[in-house]
A and B are shown apart, each in its own frame.
Chain A
Amino acid sequence: MTEILRISVPMTFWLAAFSAVYGLQGFICSRHWFEAEVEGLTVARMALVGAWLLVIAVQVAMLAMLRAERWASPEPTMRFVSVTLAVVALVAAVWSLVPVATTSICY
Chain B
Amino acid sequence: MNALRRHRALSRIWASDPGFRGWFTTVNHNDVGRMFIVTSVFFFLVGGILAMLIRAQLATPRSAFVGPEIYNQIFTMHGTIMMFLFAIPLIEGVAIYLLPKLLGTRDLAYPRLTAFGYWCYVFGGSMLLFSLLVGIAPDSGWFLYPPLSSTLGQPGINSDFWLLGITFVEISAIAAAVEITVTVLRYRAPGMSLTRMPVLAWYLLVTVVMILTGFPPLILGSILLELERAFGMPFFQVEHGGDSLLWQHLFWLFGHPEVYIIFLPAAGVISTILPVMARTTLLGYGWVVAAAIALGVLSFGLWVHHMYVTGIPHMGVAFFSAASTLVAVPTAVQVFAWIGTLWKGQPQLRLPMLWILGFFVTFVIGGLTGVMVAIVPFDAQVHDTYFIVAHLHYVLVGGFVFPMMAALYYWLPHVTGRKRFFKLGEAAFWLIFLGFHVTFLALHWVGLLGMRRRIYTFDSGQGWELVNLISSIGGFVATIGFGLVLVDIIVNAVVATRGVRNPWGAGTLEWAMPTPPPAYTFASLPSVSERDPLLKEPRLGVGLAKGEGFLGDPSRGRRETLCVETASGRPAYLVTFPDNSALPFALSAVTGGIFLGMLLKAYWLIPLSILGIVALGVRWVWTTGADRDRGPMDVGRGVSLIPAEEAEDPPGWWGSVFLLLADATLFGSLLFGYAFLWTVAPNWPPPSYLAPDPVAAVLAAVGGLVAVAAFRLAARALEQGGSAIGWLILAALGAGAVGAAAISVMVARPDFTAHAYDATLWVIAGYVLLHAALAVLMALFLAARGWLGFLGPRRRGPVRVGQIWADYLLVVAAIGLGAAWLPGAFA
- Which A residues have a C-beta under 8 Å from some C-beta of B? 1-4, 7-8, 11-12, 14-15, 18-19, 21-23, 25-27, 29-30, 32, 75, 77-78, 80-81, 84-85, 88, 91-92, 95-100, 102-107
Contact = CB atoms under 8 A, between A and B. Distances in A.
Contact of B314 (A21, A27, A104): A104
Nearest to A102: B318
Contacts of A81: 286, 289-290, 293
A84 B315 CA distance: 29
Contact of A103 (B298, B314, B325, B675): B314
B567 A78 contact: yes
A32 B685 CA distance: 10
29 contacts: A4-B185, A7-B293, A14-B297, A18-B323, A22-B304, A25-B313, A25-B315, A25-B316, A26-B316, A29-B313, A75-B193, A78-B567, A80-B290, A81-B289, A84-B286, A84-B290, A88-B290, A88-B294, A92-B323, A95-B325, A97-B322, A98-B322, A99-B318, A103-B314, A103-B318, A104-B314, A106-B313, A106-B314, A107-B314
Given A4-B566, A105-B313, A84 B185 contact: no
B185 A22 contact: no
A82 B298 CA distance: 15
A1 B289 CA distance: 17
Contacts of B329: 88
B336 interface: no
Contacts of B319: 18, 21-22, 25, 96-97, 99
A36 to B, nearest CB: 12
A2 to B, nearest CB: 7
Interface centre among A12, A21, A75, A96 (most CB of B within 10 A): A96
Contact of A100 (B304, B315, B325): B315
B366 to A, nearest CB: 24
A19 to B, nearest CB: 7
A100 B315 CA distance: 7
Contacts of B416: none
Nearest to B304: A22
Contact of B297 (A15, A78, A91): A15
B315 A77 contact: no
Contacts of B325: 95
B326 interface: yes
A91 B297 CA distance: 14
B195 A107 contact: no
A77 to B, nearest CB: 4
A87 to B, nearest CB: 9
Given A18-B323, A26-B679, A88-B294, A78 B315 contact: no
Contact of B287 (A3, A84, A107): A84
Main secondary structure of the interface of A (DSSP, over half): helix
Contacts of B313: 25, 29, 105-107
A85 B286 contact: no
Given A7-B293, A96-B322, A96-B323, A105 B315 contact: yes
Contacts of A2: 567
B301 A15 contact: yes
A26 B680 CA distance: 8
A80 B193 CA distance: 15
Contacts of B567: 2-3, 75, 78
Contacts of A23: 675
B287 A95 contact: no
B326 A92 contact: yes
Interface string B798-813: 0000000000000000
Interface in B329-361: 329-330
A8 B206 CA distance: 10
Task: In the A-B complex, list the 3 residue pairs whose CB atoms are closest, starting with the nearest.
Answer: A99-B318, A11-B297, A77-B195
A91 to B, nearest CB: 8
B182 to A, nearest CB: 12
Nearest to A6: B567
Contacts of B322: 95-99
B178 to A, nearest CB: 15
Contacts of B300: 15
Contact of B293 (A75, A85, A92): A85
B653 to A, nearest CB: 11
B285 interface: yes
Given A14-B297, A29-B313, A77-B195, 13 more contacts: A2-B567, A18-B301, A22-B319, A32-B679, A78-B567, A80-B290, A88-B329, A92-B298, A92-B301, A96-B323, A97-B319, A97-B322, A104-B315
A77 B290 CA distance: 10
B233 interface: no
